[in-house]
Amino acid sequence: MRINTKQGIAPIVAIIIALLVLGGGGYGIKKVADNKKEKKAKQEQMEQEEKQKEEKAREDAAMLEPTTLQVTLGEQNKSGQNGQAVITQLGTSTVKVIVTIAGKPSSVAQPAHIHLGSCPTPGAVKYPLTNVGKGASQTEIPNMTLEQLLSELPLAINVHKSAAELKTYVACGDIVKEEKMTETKNDAPKTGAVAEMKKETKVNYTAAGFAPKTLIIKKGEMVIFENKTGKSASVASDEHPTHLLYPEFDQYKTDQRGKDEFRFTFEKVGTWNYHDHLNPTMTGTVIVE
């Protein structure tokens, strides 16, 4: 019996060809899937890198933003009261406001608020603060950042005479974004040297005392103590009468002796209590960070 080999081989060849086609197609499908996975991985990596860049940019921006602001509260309506407010960023979502009032003491709690507008006639209340009692109050404002607060300017901190006399203001101060920057040069600058920029902060000394009574500055910043008492004064560090807490911080030892303005640059980090040597009951504090 003779077998037709051609007819027997043909189906086998067809099957082999079909398998090759199917195998090639499977390989192609796998390659496409691998390419998709690779593209997705690259996309996720790019998104992650972009997210890290954005976070780094936010961190850098946050470092440039101030973390503390000081507001001088000036006397209103001949109240005999003045003081300061220190606004501090706590964490990422809370702002703390510390208000201190010096001068004529009050026998009752004094309402305080952050108002819209500016002194001496601020507008509606924007954020209520804790009543001032015994010359001080502390308030934490949740869900708030210092940057957000500054974006809402103009704002002012206002202290009222009492709950019964809310329309009578005793002290008020505008919240400002930046303090004045002044240019100071070294006594003997080198050729081509860039003038150094230093921040100046003023402390007013009146019959009511030093205002602000507590000041927070950075190392290398200057404080100007301006005597408005109408009497002789000499600003110096504690302890009275030796002034050894910060010996250099002594107006009498400088060429500004006897003048109504004493300029001093704080080059040491720390908490420096001071007083008027001629009236040592008048005291204040400079905190250098």
181-229 pLDDT tens trace? 344 344 433 333 333 345 789 999 999 999 999 999 999 999 999 999 9
The pLDDT value given to residue 187: 41
CB neighbour list of residue 151: distance below 8 Å, 6 or more residues apart: none
Mean pLDDT value across residues 78-106: 88
In 3-state terms, the chain is what percent helix, strand and coil (to 5)? 25, 40, 35
The pLDDT value given to residue 36: 77
* pLDDT tier at 30, thresholds 50, 70, 90: low
Mean pLDDT of the chain: 82
Whole-number CA gyration radius for the chain: 35
- pLDDT tens digit sequence for 136-169: 899 999 999 989 999 999 999 999 999 999 999 9
The pLDDT value given to residue 108: 93
Query: Can you tell me whether residue 55 is helix, strand or coil?
Result: helix
68-175 shares its CATH topology with 195-288:
yes
- Number of C-alpha atoms within 13 angstroms, CB side, residue 204? 16
Mean pLDDT value across residues 23-39: 66
Looking at the domain 68-175, which fold is it? Immunoglobulin-like (2.60.40)
The pLDDT value given to residue 163: 93
Other C-beta atoms closer than 10 Å to the C-beta of 34 total: 10
C-beta of residue 212 within 8 angstroms of C-beta of residue 67: no
In this predicted structure, the answer to whether residue 260 has a pLDDT above a threshold of 90 is: yes
Residue 191 host element (H or E) = none
- Alpha-carbon distance of 132 to 111, in angstroms, equals 6
Q: Domains of the chain: which residue ranges?
A: 19-64, 68-175, 195-288
The pLDDT value given to residue 4: 52
One of 3.40.50.2300, 1.10.20.10, 3.40.190.10, 2.60.40.420 is the CATH number of 195-288, namely: 2.60.40.420
